[in-house]
Amino acid sequence: MKWRRGVAQFRPKDDQPLAEARMFFVYLLKSLKNDKTYVGSTSKSVGLRLVEHNFGSNKWTSANKPFKLVYYESFYCKQDSLHREKFFKSGVGKNLKKVITEHLNIGE
């Protein structure tokens, strides 16, 4: 650390990798068994989370598997992703979720 006119200047060492930003995701899964939609949020990769749900990671997904990923959104802030997940589970959010899942399933 070098001081210059009362201000500390921080310089990363050349061999230090820059910290990666942690991302948070909200995702919609569609059950191939009964067409039900699951809304979840995670800081893991969405693909990994899909695999976990297809292995039956919780009671609801275990009973309704297998799933396919229909849609996801990414966020820099965990709180924003949790608010979006809660929105998709609300009345207006359920309507939007329905529009998204129907629109993305047109060609199938």
Confidence of residue 70 (pLDDT cuts 50, 70, 90): very high
Q: List, for residues 32-69, the tens digit of each pLDDT value.
A: 999 999 999 999 999 999 999 999 888 989 999 999 99
CATH homologous superfamily for 23-104?
GIY-YIG endonuclease (3.40.1440.10)
Q: List, for residues 71-82, the tens digit of each pLDDT value.
A: 999 999 999 999
H or E element: which one contains 72? strand 67-75
For residue 24, give the nearest of 81, 70, 71 by alpha carbon. Answer: 81
pTM of the model: 0.77
CB 71 within 8 A of CB 100: yes
pLDDT at residue 1 tops 50: no
